[in-house]
Structure 1
Amino acid sequence: MAGVIVIGAGVVGLSAALAAQARGLSVSVIDREGPAAGASAGNAGAFAFTDIMPLASPGILRKAPKWLLDPLGPLSVPPAYAMQIAPWLYRFWRACTPRAVARSTLAQIAMMDLSKAELEPFLAATGTLPMLEKRGNLQVYEGEAEFRASAGGWKARADHGIEFHHLTAAEMAALQPGLAPRFTHGTFTPGWYSIADPKHYTLALADLFRAQGGEILRSEVTGLRPDDQGVIITRASGDPIRADRVVLAAGAFSHRIARTLGERIPLETERGYNTTLPPDALDLRMQVTFGGHGFVISRLSTGIRIGGAVELGGLSLPPNYKRSDAMLAKAKAFLPDLKTTGGVQWMGFRPSLPDSLPAIGRARDTAQVIYAFGHGHLGLTQSAGTARLVADLLTDRAPAIDITPFSPQRF
């Protein structure tokens, strides 16, 4: 096997594979579990192009101590993982300075603009445009103080020309009936898109990739080794495979593979939880974000999904589905008409870097390996933009935007 091999069959990897195919390259994909097996299956389904503020910010630092006191709250660090994640948390803290946040925001804006510009052409080219929905997003606040605390983020959006509308409780009720009266303020963002179902979308990309001659292998990649003829890919089982070039887009497992090239990239895992209820569980008009509680509720074609929060617990600890239960209980309190029976719980790994930006660029010691991972909560959102950048790098074109802020070696 030669040509380009993409490691990872999530939405980022498959989008990159299709973009490379569109440039006339011979492409194969390898994944440890197969298409849409990880976060690409269980995310909230949003293209959050207006979400330009990095997670690493002074606002998160202010909220974190309170959140950490609640083991089932929006942010938790299991005691069994606390020492292991301490270096990542230190880097995260350093990324929260005003100067670092300003840099990250500018990079995030460029990435969001590119991803939004690339999305609909990509969906049209892949036959998935009918899955796109434009219902917008409603961010709700409990009281004047919480609403005022959000002002900085909205000013940054306004400075970039992002449309939004602040709402009273009565105006919110007109948009989304049934919200509990504790929510007194809201902000509606019309430019927030969604996909009918993220798993179905990713599987559709896989089907198209195969139909266009691409092969998807199920195998666990254990390492990469450059040689004079390209890159040798070693696997947990089976013979090594040689590729001319490799795209590493293996999500939360990417840093383990990059380490075999001698690179120590500080990727960590935000474990996300959700419950997907039947479609008739609620008359949900748009995605609603409960920012003070760290979760969202989304309407998918397959059901009503309540999920989010951050558990910094790595890849090995067993799931704690009490977190899903806690979010579901809150959702019922916030939207009393919600029917909470018949749900399916899920936990997945979001690959996150300390400054909230992905790693996109070439490996340190070989131009034949391209990294495309670490998107955190924004893998679906930034998938089409990342695919464009990867295709540019694979065909030796100037990237569509400056990728210096996303350098895998910036740490």
Structure 2
Amino acid sequence: MEDAPEPDVIVIGAGVVGLSAALALQGRGRRVLVIDREGPAAGASAGNAGAFAFTDILPLASPGLMRKAPRWLLDPLGPLSVPIPYAPRVAPWMWRVARACSPTRVEAATAAQTALMDLSRAELEPFLAATGTLPMLRREGNLELYESEAEWLASLPGWDARERHGIDFRHLDAGDMAAVQPGLSPRFVRGTFTPGWFSIADPRDYVLALAERFAAGGGAIAVADARALRPDAGGVTVETQGAARRAGQVVVAAGAFSHRLARTLGERIPLETERGYNTTLPPGAFDLRTQVTFGGHGFVVTRLAGGIRVGGAVELAGLERAPDFRRSEAMLAKAARFLPGLRTEGGRPWMGFRPSLPDSLPAIGFSRGSRRVAYAFGHGHLGLTQSAGTARLVADLLTGQVPPIPLRSFSPQRFA
């Protein structure tokens, strides 16, 4: 039996970004091999809230974050926590976040994020149609809730920025909120509804469907832990725990593990792991009609095909520390107070890694060491949202096309 031909491209990572890029490259006629340390939809691509959050153009690195962070950090189970043993390791990354919060940098990051969001939204439905997953798309909007007039007023500059970028929303009082989502606690006095907020029926099912589509088109998926990249004049060798693999080009889309591969090429990219937690309750746990965001508490409640998911928050604790599921329990207890009819029995807790860069923008572009290696990681909370747009950009880069948006703000070398 003859050996299979060497692939044109190896994509490292079988999450939503990696598989979307693999499908886009396959659509350009490339032979693609996807490798992943666990297989398709094994990480954050399975456990996220399922939202295409195209209205989230404001970077997390902002003056608002710096105002809230000290209060949040005092609560070990709150929206943002750093375990004391990990604090020295994450301190340089947090310093970069603080630097990214200057008004000039926030303005530039917002413009770049908006461009990527606009591209991702434009690419989404054609991508879903091409992959047979369009029936999984939902258009149910998002309702952000505020517990006081002061909290709502503090949010208005952010909504003004969204309005300048053409994002549709409307502010609601308590009566209007009840019409959009019945059953809210009276503690919430204001809300903002964004009808252009899409979601997917189930993020895990979606990524598995992409994997099936990729395989049906002749693509191969292998379970292998990529350890190092060795480019040369003729291609790139991917060293794994088993046999080495080789292709003409490589895409690194390995989520929170991507910086380890970049390091083998001599690049130190400040990727940090935001550990997110959630609990998925059985279907029917609440009559949820739109995604509900509790911004002051850092979590959301969303309806999926498999149940009601309560999750979010940020724990900066790296890749090795054991999960602290008290964080899931704390969010679930709050959700029960905020949605008094929520039934909290029978939930499944989960923890996953969000790959995040200090300025809230992903790294999309070529490695400094070789233009045979492209990076596509660091999307933070927005991997699903920006997956179709990122796939378009990666396919353009690797096939010599001019990308439809400037990529300077997403340069992997911008932190050097």
Deviation at 1:389, TM superposition (A): 0.1
Deviation at 1:2, TM superposition (A): 3.0
Residues 357-407 of structure 1, C-alpha deviations (whole Å, 9 max, x = no match): 000000002100000000000000000000000000011000111011000
Query: Partner of 2:101: helix, strand, or coil?
Result: coil
Deviation at 1:324, TM superposition (A): 0.1
Residues 62-89 of structure 1, C-alpha deviations (whole Å, 9 max, x = no match): 0001100000000000111100011100
Deviation at 1:228, TM superposition (A): 2.1
Counterpart residue number, 1:225:
230
Residues 289-348 of structure 1, C-alpha deviations (whole Å, 9 max, x = no match): 000000000000110000000000100000000000000000000001000000000000
Deviation at 1:227, TM superposition (A): 1.3
Question: Aligned residue pairs: how many?
Answer: 410
Counterpart residue number, 2:51:
46
Deviation at 1:229, TM superposition (A): 1.5
Counterpart residue number, 2:184:
179
From 230, 235, 240, the equivalent of 1:235 is: 240
Residue type of the alignment partner of 1:317 = R
| Equivalent residue runs for 1:58-137 within 5 Å | 58-137=63-142
What is the RMSD of the two structures over their aligned residues, measured on CA atoms? 0.5
From 375, 380, 400, the equivalent of 2:379 is: 375
| Equivalent residue runs for 1:135-284 within 5 Å | 135-236=140-241, 238-284=242-288
Q: For 2:27 and 2:244, locate their aligned partners in 1 and report how far apart those are by CA, in whole Å.
A: 27
Deviation at 1:239, TM superposition (A): 1.8
Residues 16-44 of structure 1, C-alpha deviations (whole Å, 9 max, x = no match): 00000001111110000000000000000
Residue type of the alignment partner of 2:68 = K
Query: Partner of 1:342: helix, strand, or coil?
Result: coil
Residue type of the alignment partner of 2:317 = G
Deviation at 1:207, TM superposition (A): 0.4
Q: For 1:2 and 1:326, locate their aligned partners in 2 and report how far apart those are by CA, in whole Å.
A: 47
TM-score scaled to structure 2, two decimals?
0.98
Q: For 1:144 and 1:386, locate their aligned partners in 2 and report how far apart those are by CA, in whole Å.
A: 38
From 25, 28, 32, the equivalent of 2:37 is: 32
Runs of 4+ in 1 over 6 A off after TM superposition: none
Matched, 1:394 2:398: yes
TM-score scaled to structure 1, two decimals?
0.99
Q: For 2:205 and 2:353, locate their aligned partners in 1 and report how far apart those are by CA, in whole Å.
A: 19
Matched, 1:293 2:297: yes
Q: For 1:325 and 1:2, locate their aligned partners in 2 and report how far apart those are by CA, in whole Å.
A: 45
Query: Partner of 2:11: helix, strand, or coil?
Result: strand
Residues 182-207 of structure 1, C-alpha deviations (whole Å, 9 max, x = no match): 00000000000000000000000000
Matched, 1:315 2:319: yes
Q: For 1:13 and 1:219, locate their aligned partners in 2 and report how far apart those are by CA, in whole Å.
A: 14
Counterpart residue number, 2:407:
403
Matched, 1:19 2:24: yes
Q: For 1:331 and 1:207, locate their aligned partners in 2 and report how far apart those are by CA, in whole Å.
A: 35
Counterpart residue number, 2:3:
none
Query: Partner of 1:282: helix, strand, or coil?
Result: coil
Counterpart residue number, 1:306:
310
Between the two proteins, what is the percent identity of the paired residues?
A: 70
Residue type of the alignment partner of 1:179 = L
Deviation at 1:3, TM superposition (A): 1.0
Q: For 2:165 and 2:238, locate their aligned partners in 1 and report how far apart those are by CA, in whole Å.
A: 43
Q: For 1:151 and 1:187, locate their aligned partners in 2 and report how far apart those are by CA, in whole Å.
A: 10
**Structure 2 unaligned runs (5+)?**
1-5
Counterpart residue number, 1:338:
342
Residue type of the alignment partner of 1:395 = T
Q: For 2:167 and 2:364, locate their aligned partners in 1 and report how far apart those are by CA, in whole Å.
A: 25
Residues 236-289 of structure 1, C-alpha deviations (whole Å, 9 max, x = no match): 2x2211110000000000000110000000000000000000011000001000
Residue type of the alignment partner of 1:132 = L
Residue type of the alignment partner of 1:273 = Y
Query: Partner of 2:267: helix, strand, or coil?
Result: coil
Q: For 2:202 and 2:7, locate their aligned partners in 1 and report how far apart those are by CA, in whole Å.
A: 33
Counterpart residue number, 1:2:
7
Deviation at 1:115, TM superposition (A): 0.2
**Structure 1 unaligned runs (5+)?**
none
Q: For 1:244 and 1:350, locate their aligned partners in 2 and report how far apart those are by CA, in whole Å.
A: 29
Query: Partner of 1:385: helix, strand, or coil?
Result: helix
Residue type of the alignment partner of 1:204 = A
Q: For 2:273 and 2:128, locate their aligned partners in 1 and report how far apart those are by CA, in whole Å.
A: 28
Residue type of the alignment partner of 1:369 = V
